[in-house]
Amino acid sequence: MRTALITGVTGQDGAYLSEFLLNQGYRVVGVMRRSASSDVIGERLRWLGVLDRITLVEGNLTDLGSLIRIVQTHEPDEVYHLAAQSFVATSWQQPALTGLVTGLGAVTMLEAVRIARPDARFYQASSSEMYGKVQATPQSETTPFYPRSPYAAAKLYAHWMTVNYRESFGMHASSGILFNHESPLRGIEFVTRRITHGVARIVLGLTDHLTLGNLDAKRDWGHARDYVRAMWLMLQQDQPDDYVIATGRTASVREFCDLAFGAAGLRAADHVRTDAALLRPAEVEMLLGDPSKAREALGWQAEVTLEQLAAEMVEADIARLKARR
């Protein structure tokens, strides 16, 4: 039985990846940081019914010793490094912490693997945010990066350090340059989930409006369940490499609102307000990924459409709110 180690296991992708790897017959070990609210923190894993089927261990990206001990003890064949301070807006409020966790944290994890299990295959969660002020459209593996936030700059450092460990030490280290991916398990602060949660509150009569920031920003949105499959495929290749993972379709926040409100029989224009306080100091205006390399080399392509994604998220938020009442 192969063993997979996942950092960030309590996050959206960690939960879906755990489910995927268990279905592939892996033993899954997940790293979670100590929290006073650890009962709530396993919520996503519980939602997918995988909490009791994985081994949870305590560790923190800012503590090399804890990571070395975990790798030594569990001897993973594959390491999926997903943990990060992942919310772009927060990265302007806490730039140093974001650099420490999202940037240096990846190097700390690479070091732990190099020291304790150098033959393990390593996945780095790189991001389309690295394209930032985009230099070409659509964005592919060869498009130059131009980070526009402390988060994106930290991810770029982690990305290049992953390349560096591959070239310096011969590690099987790959980066997935993943474009936005969402699901009912998306954190509530991200725009798609803010929208679908807002729709659910309006449907249940808890409020009559939803306040957002920049409605014109465009993203290439896919479903997290599709995207974790791509992470695994990258580590099954003989050679490590970097891959763009995207749908190849872009839509604005406004268009996502139309889909989500429409899924509940409502009109976004009747309920959505904007507030300049929610605008970012620097914006990534438009992202559109070119997933050709992943399609050709990995045989991967996105299966869930944006319409299906929005409808699934709205339905799940309505069900959750009803259950809570």
28 binds ligand NDP (CB under 6 A): no
| Helix (H) or strand (E) segment spanning residue 57 | strand 55-58
C-alpha closest to that of 192 among 36, 72, 310, 50: 310
Interaction between residue 10 and ligand NDP (CB under 6 A): yes
Residue 253 interacts with which of ligand GDR, ligand NDP, none, CB < 5 to 8 Å by class: ligand GDR
Residue 193 interacts with ligand NDP (CB under 6 A)?
no
Choose the contact partner of 196 out of ligand GDR, ligand NDP, none; CB within 5 to 8 A by kind.
Answer: none
Asked if 196 interacts with ligand NDP (CB under 6 A), we say: no
If phi > 0 it is left, if psi is from -120 to 50 it is alpha, else beta; for residue 8 that is left
Q: Of ligand NDP, ligand GDR, none, which one does residue 10 interact with (CB within 5 to 8 Å by kind)?
A: ligand NDP
Q: Calculate helix-pair angle for 253-263, 306-324, nearest 10 degrees.
A: 60
Per DSSP, the residues of 258-305 read HHHHHHTT--GGGTEEE-GGGS-SS---B--B--HHIIIII-----S-
**CA nearest neighbour of 128 among 107, 156, 106, 108:** 156
End-to-end CA distance of the chain: 43
Min dist CB 265 to ligand NDP, Å, is: 28
* Binding flag, residue 93, ligand NDP (CB under 6 A): no
Binding residues (CB under 6 A) for ligand GDR: these are: 86, 88-89, 127-129, 179-180, 189-191, 194, 212-214, 217, 219, 253, 278, 280, 283-284
Shortest Cβ distance from residue 156 to ligand NDP (Å)? 12
70/217 with CB nearer ligand GDR:
217
Closest distance of CB 65 from ligand NDP, Å: 13
Nearer to ligand GDR, 89 or 266 (CB): 89
User: Which whole-number Å values give the CA distances from 103 to 100, 106, 159, 167, in the listed order?
Assistant: 6, 6, 9, 19
What CA dihedral angle connects 164, 169, 174 and 175, to 10 degrees?
-20
- Is 181 marked within a binding site? no
With CB under 5 to 8 Å by kind, the binding choice for 62 among ligand GDR, ligand NDP, none is ligand NDP
**Closer residue to ligand NDP, CB minimum distance, 108 or 202:** 108
- Cis status, amide bond into 138, omega within 30 of 0: yes
Among 83, 200, 306, 318, binds ligand NDP (CB under 6 A): 83
Q: 78, 123 in Cβ contact below 8 A?
A: yes
* Using rule CB under 6 A, residue 298 touches ligand NDP: no
The reply to whether 180 sits near ligand NDP by the rule CB under 6 A is: yes
**Residue 194 contacts which entry, ligand NDP, ligand GDR, none (Cβ below 5-8 A, type-dependent):** ligand GDR
Is 192 an interacting residue with respect to ligand NDP (CB under 6 A)?
no
User: Which of 62, 60, 101, 56 has its CA nearest to residue 74?
Assistant: 56
Burial 93-109 (b: 16+ CB within 10 A, else e): eebeebbbbbbbbbbbb
313 makes contact with ligand NDP (CB under 6 A): no
Query: Which residues contribute to the annotated binding site for NADP(+)?
Result: 209
Which residue numbers belong to the known binding site?
209
Question: Residues in the site for ligand NDP, rule: CB under 6 A?
Answer: 7-8, 10-14, 33, 35, 41, 60-62, 82-86, 101, 125, 127, 178, 180-181, 187
